[in-house]
Chains A and B, each alone.
Chain A
Amino acid sequence: MTLEVQNLTRRFGRMLALDGASLDAGAGEVVALLGPSGCGKTTTLRIVAGFETADSGSVWLGGRDLSRLPPHGRDIGLVFQDYALFPHMTVADNIAYGLRRRGRDAAARAARVDAMLDLVRLSGLGARRPAQLSGGQQQRVAVARALAIEPQLLLLDEPLSNLDAKLRGALQAELRGILTRIGTTTLIVTHDQEEAMALADRIAIMSQGRVLQLGTAREVYERPACRFVAEFLGSALWLEGRVEPGGFVTARGTALACAPPSRIASRHGLLVRPEALRIGAAPEGWNALSAQVTGARYRGAVTLLDLLVDGAAPASIELERGTSPPPPGATLALAAAPADCILVPEDAGG
């Protein structure tokens, strides 16, 4: 089923939670709604699920307008951040809850519950109560319960945020496997970019009630639509200045070669991902930048060197293993290939 969310707006008192948010997901596609807290992603999810109503805009699922349907009529599987398992029911009864509402007979329910428990690798735990399961197991029961009804759309609200870091990695891979196997159109709400990149086919970056960019992880990381997207994902060196024929001139007057902008905008900045920066003199055809060392942070696997590039832009780059960080105040020469210098509009287009 394809999901189309068009121009949602929602106001809570004085706060504009959604300001024309739009996104779409193709049949069987997994889309992550990624943004900082308060960006409107949870409100979007709750409107799609039917727990909130939008002031304007519409939600279409497989060509059907959902706006006027109550939550129980939408055929949407929902996995809550805190799982919301029914504490007074066994795991099997939790999974069978939606099947019972759909009038399946006992034999069909039992078969489906077994199949779901198999899918999430919890076979044999059907008689337990949710309180007797670990956090990771509860999360899988929540997924099984939502998928048991064969929903047309699966919604996951911060699915892994309540788990500790080690478990999260393992469950991420497992969840991705399950989503691939069942092929249900899925919308994931998360504030964790790693989770979004690991689970989703495409990522919608949200800020201040709007979807700023919707694209694959590679697209949004390498070709961000605006400064917010560039700086929200990973770390970024953002140089202010102006576009000149053949390149970019920073506010300090440093001329840098880069490809022409892909979109017309009133103001552009230059994005360089820190991993594209080299320490040392620029080879032929590369852009040269100067930077001042402001500090160093030891992080175990890597040491991060904090820099102030071109006199104004902060950036952190990873030091090679075994090199000792230069003292604060030292001046470094940096080099970046023109292909790694990307012109990005300051603001998202209207």
Chain B
Amino acid sequence: MRRIPVALWLAAPGLLLLLALMGGPVVLLVLESLKPFVPGSIRPGEGVTLGNYTELLAPAYLFYFQETFRFGIIVAGLSVLFGAPLAFAAVRSRSALLRKLLLALLVGLLVMSLIARLYAIEMAWGSLGPLAPLGALTGIAPRSPRYAEVQVAIGLLHFTMPVVALMLVGTFRALPPRLEEAAASLGARRSDVVVSVVLPLAAPGLVSAFLVALAMCISNFVVPLILGRGIVTLATSLMYTRFADIGNYPSGAAIGVVMLVLAFAVVYGLSALARRVLPGARL
């Protein structure tokens, strides 16, 4: 009999935990999604069906997925756009006080309850809030129902940006400052240094931060619930309705599985794209 390698024994507790705690529910979800739904009953019917998936191909459902990824990609992009300068300042600012304040702000946002932050956004950016004129710059009037989209985007941004910025703090810290000094000594201005040296070298970190933000957005439920005013409903809201309101477990499970597959496809596709666009970067 072959002996089981020690490494496998050592990994066994972790693997079991991973399988039982993380993998198990997902497997059950997949199985559930293949069962027929019996209206009026929580217990699913007998047999195997793909009906829960085929019904999602209807335009009304496709819209949910499209909206979810539209919000996700826009917000992830914005959070990298706003988070990167913050992170860079938190790492490279000449003032030690500013560096500390920025880090404290980011960590503070991260530990503050999301619910509290969302109601704060509702108060500040809502149609009657003092920041509503700023929100109107998006081209959507604060009084129009579509303004909920702006609020959901701000809410999601609040959720992702501290995480993105803190991830990028690590990215920028790993860049040797000597490279920036070398560029400066060769005649590059600060902005030129950032474009020609910092951003190309930070690209892998920027891509990962974007993907993490995207994952956080498309799986978020509470932001559209609180700020969406029933106008913005994303795939998560749909899933919740299926499970909790209608009790249609198989359909909710199918939506969950589709989201999982779509998310994997998007993450994989975007990383492949980034690898092609940034051949020098190690992703």
A-side interface residues toward B, CB under 8 Å?
A: 49-51, 70-78, 80, 82, 84-89, 97-98, 101-102, 129, 145-146, 149
Distance (Å) between the CB of A136 and the closest chain B CB? Answer: 19
* Bound-state Cα–Cα, A82 to B177, Å: 12
Within the complex, what minimum Cβ distance (angstroms) separates B258 from chain A?
A: 38
Cross-chain contact A84 with B187 (CB below 8 angstroms)? no
| Closest chain B CB from A102 CB (angstroms) | 6
Question: Chain A binding site: helix, strand, loop or mixed by DSSP?
Answer: loop
Q: Which residues of the partner chain B approach A98 to less than 8 Å between Cβ atoms?
A: 186-187
A198 to B159, CA, bound (A): 60
Number of interface residues of B (CB under 8 A): 19
In contact, B179 and A84 (Cβ under 8 angstroms): yes
| A-B contact list, 27 entries, CB within 8 Å | A49-B181, A50-B184, A50-B185, A71-B184, A72-B186, A72-B187, A72-B189, A75-B187, A76-B185, A77-B185, A77-B186, A78-B185, A84-B178, A84-B182, A86-B182, A87-B280, A97-B183, A97-B188, A98-B186, A98-B187, A101-B187, A101-B188, A129-B280, A145-B182, A145-B186, A149-B186, A149-B187
Q: Is the interface of B mostly helix, strand, loop or mixed?
A: helix
Tell me the complex Cα distance, A169–B75, Å. 57
**Given A72-B187, A97-B186, A98-B187, residue A88 in contact with residue B280 (CB < 8 A):** yes
Contact with A along B153-184 (1 / 0, CB 8 A): 00000000000000000000000101101111
Asked if B222 CB lies within 8 Å of chain A CBs, one says: no
B182 touches A72 (CB 8 A): no
The answer, yes or no, to whether B200 is at the interface (CB within 8 Å) is: yes
User: Could you tell me the distance between the alpha carbons of A316 and B87 in the complex, rounded to whole angstroms?
Assistant: 56
Report how far A270 CA is from B195 CA in the complex, Å.
Answer: 59
Given contacts A71-B184, A72-B189, A101-B188, contact A86 B197 (CB under 8 A): yes
Flag if B181 contacts A51 (CB, 8 Å).
Answer: yes
Give the CA-CA distance A341 to B281 in the complex, in Å: 62
A161 to chain B, nearest CB (A): 15
Min C-beta distance of B200 to chain A, whole Å: 5
Q: Does B55 have its Cβ within 8 Å of any Cβ on chain A?
A: no
Question: A88 is contacted by which of B188, B192, B200 (Cβ under 8 Å)?
Answer: B200
Chain B residue numbers with a CB within 8 Å of A87 are 201, 280
Known: A84-B179, A88-B281, A97-B196. 7 other contacts (CB 8 A): A49-B181, A71-B184, A73-B187, A74-B185, A84-B176, A88-B201, A98-B187
Interface residues of B in 193-225 (CB under 8 A from A): 196-197, 200-201
Docked CA distance A87–B280 (Å): 9
Cα distance, A77 to B182, chains bound together (Å): 9
Contact A71 B201 (CB under 8 A): no
A88-B201, A145-B186 given as contacts; is B181 within 8 A of A82 (CB)?
Answer: no
Q: Which residues of B contact A50 (CB under 8 A)?
A: 184-185
Question: In the complex, A102→B192 CA distance in Å?
Answer: 12
Does A78 contact B176, Cβ atoms closer than 8 Å? no
Contact of B192 among A49, A78, A101, A146 (CB under 8 A): A101
**Is A71 a contact partner of B178 (Cβ separation < 8 A)?**
no
Which residues of B have CB within 8 Å of A78? Answer: 181-182, 185
